[in-house]
Amino acid sequence: MTAQAAARRDVQTSSVKPHVLIVEDETALVELLRYNLEQSGFRVSVAHDGEEALTLVQEDMPDLVLLDWMLPLMSGIEVCRQLRRQTLTANLPIIMLTARSEEGDRVRGLDAGADDYVPKPFSPTELVARIRAVLRRIRPALADEALSYSDIVMDLVAHRVTRGGKPVHLGPTEFRLLRHFMEHPGRVFSREQLLDSVWGKDVYVEARTVDVHIRRLRIALNGDQRADLIRTVRAAGYALDVTPG
């Protein structure tokens, strides 16, 4: 197998395993979480403080962030606010962990943009269930063999795509691109993020190659003047999105 094929295979494998970023400074808890999440089929990465979390998110976008409230240097609440303010992470699922359990804290956590809030101590089993619930709500694609968005249906087993019931013919790269978008509908990806996720980190491809494949994907999907579902976000990248603009 060539390095390129190996990189592609890794991309496909990793796109099936949901990726959770744990942001927590207590090593024992990190290891407990890592063990339980890996056993439950998640890919795990770890940041020990808020700054590291913000950097890691840019380098390797997770599907969900498990964010402790009490962190050194920058609080979890502040990390959550910063993630929500940035276009690329505005819709990233976030579950806050905290030893604080007063109702007012819960409200503050949700106000800062967290999708769920889990008080410590918690059972790992319950936490995994909460993670799955948030992912199902936000990314139903992670559990399914077929993806659908608007009038596009993607059969991942048969490798067939239809739009409005009519077949859409895609090359392998366009197929992977569309799959990536359909797994994260509404989320904006930069060209670099698309290169990493769709082509693979070890494959050298110029950023403008992304534009070429986006154009092909648009032509294949839009055919007879159907609405363009791929949104170009100036200076940021691309998203699969029904919202015009």
Positions touching Ca ion (CB under 5 A) are 25, 68, 70
Judged by CB, which is closer to Ca ion: 118, or 182? 118
Beta bridge partners of 146: 155
Judged by CB, which is closer to Ca ion: 68, or 116? 68
Q: How far is the CB of 49 from Ca ion (least distance, A)?
A: 9
Q: How far is the CB of 113 from Ca ion (least distance, A)?
A: 19
Beta bridge partners of 120: none
Q: How many CB atoms lie within 10 A of CB 140?
A: 13
Beta bridge partners of 181: none
Q: How far is the CB of 51 from Ca ion (least distance, A)?
A: 14
Q: How far is the CB of 38 from Ca ion (least distance, A)?
A: 20
Judged by CB, which is closer to Ca ion: 25, or 105? 25
Q: How far is the CB of 155 from Ca ion (least distance, A)?
A: 43
Selection from 135, 168, 111, 116 nearest residue 17 by Cα:
135
Q: How far is the CB of 69 from Ca ion (least distance, A)?
A: 7
Judged by CB, which is closer to Ca ion: 29, or 156? 29
Main-chain dihedrals φ then ψ at residue 198, nearest 5 degrees: -95, -40
Helices 3-16 + 172-183 axis angle, to 10:
30
Report the C-alpha gap between 48 and 91 in whole angstroms. 22
Judged by CB, which is closer to Ca ion: 70, or 205? 70
Q: How far is the CB of 30 from Ca ion (least distance, A)?
A: 9
Judged by CB, which is closer to Ca ion: 98, or 173? 98
Which tokens belong to 40? 């439950």
Positive or negative CA dihedral for 100, 52, 141, 148? positive
Long-range contacts from 162-169, C-beta under 8 angstroms, 24+ separation: 163/221, 163/223, 163/226, 164/226, 166/223, 168/220, 168/221, 168/223, 169/220
Selection from 167, 213, 73, 212 nearest residue 159 by Cα:
167
Judged by CB, which is closer to Ca ion: 122, or 215? 122
